[in-house]
Amino acid sequence: MTDQGYLLSAITLTPGAVALLLLLTSREATRLHRWAGLGASLVSLGLAAVAWLRFDPANPSFQLAEVHSWLPSVGVSYRLGIDGISLILVLLTTLLQPLVFISSWHSIKERVKGYVVAMLLLETGMVGAFLATDLFLFYVFWELMLVPMYFLIGVWGGERRIYAAVKFVLFTLAGSLLMLVGIIYLSWLYRAQAGVWSFAYEDIRRLVIPMGDGFMSSPQMLLFAAFALAFAIKVPVFPLHTWLPDAHVEAPTGGSIILAGVLLKLGTFGLLRFNRALFPDAWERSTPLFMTLAVIAIIYGALVSWAQKDMKKLVAYSSVSHMGFIVLGIFAGTVASTQGAMIQMINHGLSTGALFMLVGVIYDRRHTRLIEDYGGLAAVMPVYTAAFLLTTLASIGLPGLNGFVGEFLILVGSFSVAPIATVLAASGIVLGAVYMLSLVQRVFWNPLTNPENQSLPDMTWQEVVAFAPLAVFMVWIGVHPTTFLSISEAAVQRLIGG
């Protein structure tokens, strides 16, 4: 890999650098902070679009690579690179971030500076984790996300924010610390086999990792487990999901959008990028386990969603179900199912991000998220109703919208490999329609009985601006998915092919 400019660094580090500069400003200058946050995230989005233009979809390996020496005696280097899999997720991240700033323009009134700084640092961590092609650097970016998210939940969150924030931190670290030992072990193994120190992804990929019979005696199984635990907690794979409802419900709207939209994708991305590519034998042996857990998550998540009285909780549990589909797709391991999982990652980011945003809209007006407090909103908030309905239909997989494409590809791709699991998973789609449509029914169509709901203002222009791009992509992916499928196709082919 030769060095090709600083584009990827610019995408990654711009938000973080602006965040550090903002630390030096007065906390009274909230207009400045809001605009700087939006500006920095828009710059990142623009640069990500440039990367998309300069990206060659036919080339399956890392492009626009950057390599800088960092700690040469240990073998750590600063390496960034982008392939189809990471490009698509970076585009999602950089798209969601400015929308978060717009949607929270008025809802975050206190400690604006801290909020903007935390969000921007979080963006640097997320984009960096997608782009890092050195395992040490990946770990640094991965953990960099932790502190801002802790603050976002703990300072701007709901009533049980402290519990949720601490739980989030402990769950995340519980997974990632063992991954750190795994990363160190891989570099030692590389040194033993190649004679030099390296943490570079492309180097580690060439390793031959011994695969014994048992579990404790098999280095590859242990390494697989160390990485998989970190990612499975992030996804989250059943039964490691218990942090998710707390974190999603207690986080402020912007934090929920980023959590559901991007952070969960880091889990599935990590499974693909590291577990699938580095430990193929262990991957094969673990497939039945993960497919079973995925099916459980799909059905369990849907059933629990159905039972929720709180809208935000309902959306949170629906994430468990939707992420189950993605896990099913990547473990089925065919090109179709993996491509479906890729597109479903985007879909879930768009539709769940949109749902959290829309729940935030109504919460700002009424300060309640209980479904029973609403009813008949269609009469007073027509624009809001249309937006919510579109998102619901996208989320439950109506053909012509994005959700259909992803779920269809996953199911088609998985059926040949695991027919029973696929059939059970398909029932999750039906359950998804049940809980989402009953939510719409209860919130928008039932009679407008509660007097407090009779004069609710419709969405403001900021809220519409924040939502509109998401709607555009929901339709775009639904009508012409090839635009996005072609980005990741070559990289997925390479991954599946070996």
Partner 1 sequence: MNVNDVATILPELLLVLAGGFVVLADAFVPLIKPRLSLLAGSSVLAALALRWLVPLPGSVWLGALQIDPLARFVDSYVLVALFLVVSMAGPYLERTGANRGEFFALLLWASVGAMTMAKSNQLLVIFVGLELLSISLYVLNAFHNTSAVSLEAGWKYLVVGAFSAAILLFGVALVYGATGTLSLDALATTAPQLAVVGSPLLLAGLALILAGLAFKLALVPFHAWAADVYQGSPTPVTAFLSVVPKGAALVVLARVAAFAIPLAATARWTTLLAIVAVASMTLGNLVAIAQRDIKRMLAYSGIAHMGYALVGIVAFGYDGVAGVLVYLAAYTLMNIAAFAVVSAFSEGEDEPHLLTDLAGQGWLRPVLSGALAVAMFSLAGIPPTVGFVAKFLVFRSAVLNGLVWLAVVGVLNSLISVFFYVRVVYYLYMKPLPRRAPRYGEPWSVRVVAALCALGIVLLGILPGWVLGAAETAARSLAR
Q: Which residues bind partner 1 (CB under 8 A)?
A: 23, 27, 70-71, 73-74, 111, 136, 139-140, 143-144, 146-147, 150-151, 154-155, 161-162, 165-166, 169-170, 173-174, 177-178, 180-181, 184-185, 187-188
Give the whole-angstrom CA distance, residue 316 versus residue 259: 10
Rounded to the nearest whole angstrom, what is the least distance from the CB of residue 319 to partner 1 in the complex? 25
Instruction: CB nearer to partner 1: give 22 or 298.
Output: 22
Rounded to the nearest whole angstrom, what is the least distance from the CB of residue 286 to partner 1 in the complex? 20
Rounded to the nearest whole angstrom, what is the least distance from the CB of residue 359 to partner 1 in the complex? 23
Instruction: CB nearer to partner 1: give 128 or 406.
Output: 128
Residue 17: partners with Cβ closer than 8 Å, 6 or more residues away: none
Instruction: CB nearer to partner 1: give 173 or 475.
Output: 173
Rounded to the nearest whole angstrom, what is the least distance from the CB of residue 173 to partner 1 in the complex? 5
Rounded to the nearest whole angstrom, what is the least distance from the CB of residue 285 to partner 1 in the complex? 21
Strand-pair category, 76-82 with 63-71: antiparallel
Residues in the chain: 498
Rounded to the nearest whole angstrom, what is the least distance from the CB of residue 180 to partner 1 in the complex? 6
With beta carbons less than 8 A apart as the criterion, state whether 362 and 384 touch. Answer: yes
Instruction: CB nearer to partner 1: give 22 or 346.
Output: 22
Strand partners, 66: 80
Strand partners, 69: 77
Instruction: CB nearer to partner 1: give 231 or 467.
Output: 231
Q: CA 47 → CA 41, 204, 304, 424, distances in Å?
A: 10, 29, 40, 42
Ramachandran angles phi, psi of 169, nearest 5°: -65, -45
Instruction: CB nearer to partner 1: give 162 or 289.
Output: 162
With beta carbons less than 8 A apart as the criterion, state whether 375 and 442 touch. Answer: yes
Rounded to the nearest whole angstrom, what is the least distance from the CB of residue 63 to partner 1 in the complex? 26
Give the whole-angstrom CA distance, residue 442 versus residue 102: 28
Instruction: CB nearer to partner 1: give 187 or 218.
Output: 187
Residue 236 DSSP SS3: coil
Rounded to the nearest whole angstrom, what is the least distance from the CB of residue 259 to partner 1 in the complex? 18
Give the whole-angstrom CA distance, residue 42 versus residue 202: 31
With beta carbons less than 8 A apart as the criterion, state whether 270 and 231 touch. Answer: yes
Write the single-letter amino acid at 426. Answer: A
Helices 84-103 and 461-479, packing angle to 10 deg? 160
Instruction: CB nearer to partner 1: give 215 or 420.
Output: 215
With beta carbons less than 8 A apart as the criterion, state whether 234 and 173 touch. Answer: no
